[in-house]
Amino acid sequence: MLNAARPSEAFNAALFDASPSNALAHSFWSEYLPRTWSACWHLLFAGTNDDREKLTWKERFSNMSAVVYNCHSSEDEVLELYSQTPEPLTGGTSSKGRYSWHKQESYKGRAANVSLAWAATDWSGWGFRTKWILQDDHQVEVNLYSPAEANAKDPDELKSDTVFPLLPTSMNSSSISRTTLDEHLAKGIPALSNAAGRVAVSLNGINDENMANLKNNGGGRTSGTLSNRWLHSDLKDMAYFYVESLFSDIFVEKGILK
């Protein structure tokens, strides 16, 4: 795998991080318990033979463990996580779009709440169910449940009475086709782990190589904000003089591509 824009939890469930301190947890949800998140909804159906249990990235690609070699870069800017929920233009001065993968996950379900709605989806995700209330003589749209109200709900209630919108409704079924599940993962269920192209997935049978450690001849970038990092697609953007080890040691030797 090269520049793998897939959640690392899809290969190693231990990398799934359902904690409010996780940078991938949307800041608007910081006071809501993880059990109320769409990314954790699947946990409420664990062991029930209900396909809603599969609405998670965890172990989605675990059967690839015997055949995958993960060439990641801990310095990749496109797959890098921002310290908090990024704004639409955060990191926008980067040539390839710094924090792009983080934004992709943060704006699942947020189409109604950001100015750049075209860059978001309205599929569950980090969106909220809402209601209209009368405030100062005019109607105002607010979250259906406050953090206190949502956190007071028990797991059985949250199975059907969710804090996030069950959109599209195809996610709320005990029998969901593989194609539909995949679509919900792509557009609605946020990742709670780094992209595999940024970190080692460290599962038995999967090999990992940090390309950031394979710079030759000092690396090819000595100036700019991101300095001498191994950035997204440097394996092809940098001259062979600077990336020779990746090709000779990893692709040719370990990959047996002689």
pLDDT tens column, 140-182: 989 999 999 999 999 999 999 999 999 999 999 999 999 999 9
Question: What pLDDT is stored for residue 254 in this prediction?
Answer: 87
DSSP codes, 69-110:
EEEE-TT-SSSPPPSSPPPTTTTTTSSS-TTHHHHHHHTTT-
Sign of CA dihedral 57, 186, 25, 125: negative
Q: Which helix (H) or strand (E) covers residue 183, if one does?
A: helix 178-187
Question: What pLDDT is stored for residue 205 in this prediction?
Answer: 65
Question: What pLDDT is stored for residue 92 in this prediction?
Answer: 79
Give yes or no for a contact between 146 and 158, defined as CB atoms under 8 angstroms apart. no
3-class secondary-structure state, position 195: strand
Contacts of 79 (CB under 8 A, 6+ apart): 3, 5, 73, 100, 101, 194, 195, 197, 198, 232
Q: Does the residue 242 lie in any domain? A: no
Give yes or no for a contact between 195 and 65, defined as CB atoms under 8 angstroms apart. no
Q: List the one residue out of 6, 78, 105 whose CA is nearest residue 234.
A: 78
Q: Does the residue 81 lie in any domain? A: yes
Q: Does the residue 257 lie in any domain? A: no
Per the structure, the count of domains in the chain is: 1
Q: Does the residue 21 lie in any domain? A: yes
Q: What's the pTM?
A: 0.93
**What is the residue range of 205's domain?**
8-125+165-213
Give yes or no for a contact between 56 and 42, defined as CB atoms under 8 angstroms apart. yes
Question: What pLDDT is stored for residue 202 in this prediction?
Answer: 80
Question: What pLDDT is stored for residue 215 in this prediction?
Answer: 96
At position 37, the amino acid (one-letter code) is W
Question: What pLDDT is stored for residue 255 in this prediction?
Answer: 83
Q: Does the residue 56 lie in any domain? A: yes
Stretches where the chain sits below pLDDT 50 are none
Please tell me the distance from the alpha carbon of residue 136 to that of residue 114, in angstroms, as a whole number: 24
Q: Does the residue 130 lie in any domain? A: no
Question: What pLDDT is stored for residue 114 in this prediction?
Answer: 65
At position 39, the amino acid (one-letter code) is A
Question: What pLDDT is stored for residue 223 in this prediction?
Answer: 79
Q: Does the residue 225 lie in any domain? A: no
Please tell me the distance from the alpha carbon of residue 31 to that of residue 56, in angstroms, as a whole number: 22
Q: Does the residue 120 lie in any domain? A: yes
